[in-house]
Chains A and B, each alone.
Chain A
Amino acid sequence: MAMWITGAGVITAVGHNISEFSDSLRKGRSGIQRLPAADAKSTEIHVGAAIRNFSWHSFIEQHENELPVIGSRASKVLRNTPDSVRWSVCAAIQAYKQARLHLLPISSRRLGLIIAGSNLQQSYIFENVVRFLREPEYIAPRYAMSFSDSYQVGVISEILSIHGPGFSVGGMAASGNVALYQALGWLRLGIVDACLVCGAAADFSHLELKAFAILGAAFTGEPSAEPHKACMPFDRQRKGCVWGQGSACLVLEAPESAERRGTGNIGELPGASCLLDGNHLPNPSLEGEVCAMRSGIEDAGITAEMIDYLNTHGTGSPLGDQIECEAIRKVFGARARHLCVNATKPLTGHCFSSAGIVEAVATLIQLNERFVHPNSNLESPIDDEIGFAGKEAKRFDGEFALSNSFGFGGVNSCVVLRRSTSPQQQAGDLS
């Protein structure tokens, strides 16, 4: 059974709201820039897509007129929280507002919350370890709560008055899709009427970045004069993934709840999958990815022939991209050539815990606004049997999309998305 999507919000390196994000997708604008040399010296990570020039304080001020109670709670709570939490809250407020939950509320006990991702405040933890080593007495007392991912659940539920079920779920880079899979299950079981699914930014410290570098999973080369070209999914010259900061939120809702409230949808989530490889290592599994894609499509009650667009996991990892291409050809056969296929990570960076939600938002924007964003860095594709989008955005009219996320530790999760089925004036333009 398909569930509706009634709200979306996003904060990434290429947009602090849906409208800016949509514009960047259309233009193929990348948020990947050179990182401070002093940091790169220890991490070997020279480029990344960091969230820049975003002030949570200004964001709250802009929304305070329409959302006075939420704004006042947010101003108080966010003052002393790590950035990852602030970005989650701001993305969640965007989605909440678009779903018009402030104007057409539902019972707070029937509203759920899932935070996608684990180990979300690593850079905050790292700072406190440094403080501890200097003087244990003077670490941040708040650390006792805010080191935990559950802190994000507490903060968002307090600000938005969410009193239904809530927790955080982890699945490494597939966390976003895993959270959507979980929320879809709750809605189908009738446990909630609506659920906010918030992809939290993985705020990596030098420790995580260095570990990815040592493992060979991240791009460690010296950037050329054009750092935005460092992430090259599906290209013969690809050299690893480039990290990004991003937070995104979707409101999933049972159609009857949205209809009762008199609100339309901005898209649908008809199906999702989450399957394990039985493997603790980072290596991808062809069989696992094929099964996850097939399972998601089957769960949606459609066939592979009905999928028009594929948002790949596509990180730019040498082995990961190759296996994903093989999996796409196995699932779609000759149709792979006729799909529209792109990777959003060259624009946003690999947002890790939130990647699934960020990319679900990117997918909904493209379906509703009738375009596919370019694969700006794809010069020489590794597979000529797949319909990769070109170097410019192009017009595209499709109904169903598949979005892939594959995490270390054999977590394969796919979601099927459908463009808005409400009249445009009711659902509101996503931008």
Chain B
Amino acid sequence: MDKESIFEVIKASVRRVLGDVAEEEIAAHKSLVDLGANSVDRVEVAMYSMEQLDLKVPRMELSQARNIQGLVDILHKHANRK
């Protein structure tokens, strides 16, 4: 699965959790905090994305992501290990 598809999955998760974020606001260089996510929202975005991609990534590893691009990279790495 390519990074673009993973980014789309994350975007859908962000909208599911945060609701009122405009699509164009969700950019790879932004962090979830920039988009108004609190600590629980951030875990939910990661979890819904993993569920959609049928992945299980260790939580310690997920916490390394500094922005949406970081999350894309981590999920991409695991998706292509399968």
Residues of A within 8 A of B (CB): 75, 79-80, 135, 137-138, 140-142, 145
Contacts and interface: CB of A to CB of B under 8 A. Distances in A.
Contacts of B35: none
A138 B20 contact: no
A138 B47 contact: yes
A34 B34 CA distance: 47
A79 B36 CA distance: 14
Given A75-B20, A79-B19, A142 B44 contact: yes
Interface size class of B (residues with CB under 8 A): 10 to 19
B56 A137 contact: yes
B44 A80 contact: yes
Contacts of B19: 75, 79
Nearest to B40: A142
Given A79-B19, A80-B17, A138 B50 contact: yes
B51 interface: yes
A-side binding surface: helix, strand, loop or mixed?
A: helix
Contacts of A79: 17-19
Contacts of B41: 80
A145 B40 CA distance: 10
Interface in B14-66: 17-20, 40-41, 43-44, 47, 50-51, 56
- Name, among A79, A137, A141, A142, the residue most crowded by chain B CB atoms within 10 Å (CB to CB): A141
The 7 closest A-B pairs by CB, nearest first: A141-B43, A138-B51, A79-B19, A137-B56, A141-B44, A141-B47, A142-B40
A137 B50 contact: yes
Contacts of B44: 80, 140-142
A13 to B, nearest CB: 27
A75 B36 CA distance: 13
A135 B51 CA distance: 10
Contacts of A137: 47, 50-51, 56
Contacts of A142: 40, 44
9 contacts: A75-B19, A75-B20, A79-B17, A137-B50, A138-B47, A141-B40, A141-B43, A141-B47, A142-B40
B43 to A, nearest CB: 4
Contacts of A80: 17, 41, 44
Contacts of B20: 75
Contacts of B40: 141-142, 145
B45 to A, nearest CB: 10
B19 to A, nearest CB: 5
Contacts of A135: 51
A160 B32 CA distance: 26
A8 B50 CA distance: 44
Nearest to B46: A141
A65 to B, nearest CB: 18
Given A75-B19, A79-B19, A140-B44, 14 more contacts: A79-B17, A79-B18, A80-B41, A80-B44, A137-B50, A137-B51, A138-B50, A138-B51, A141-B40, A141-B43, A141-B44, A142-B40, A142-B44, A145-B40
Nearest to A131: B51
Contacts of A145: 40
B7 to A, nearest CB: 20
B26 to A, nearest CB: 16
Contacts of B17: 79-80
A142 B37 CA distance: 13
B54 to A, nearest CB: 9
A227 B50 CA distance: 45
A135 B47 CA distance: 12
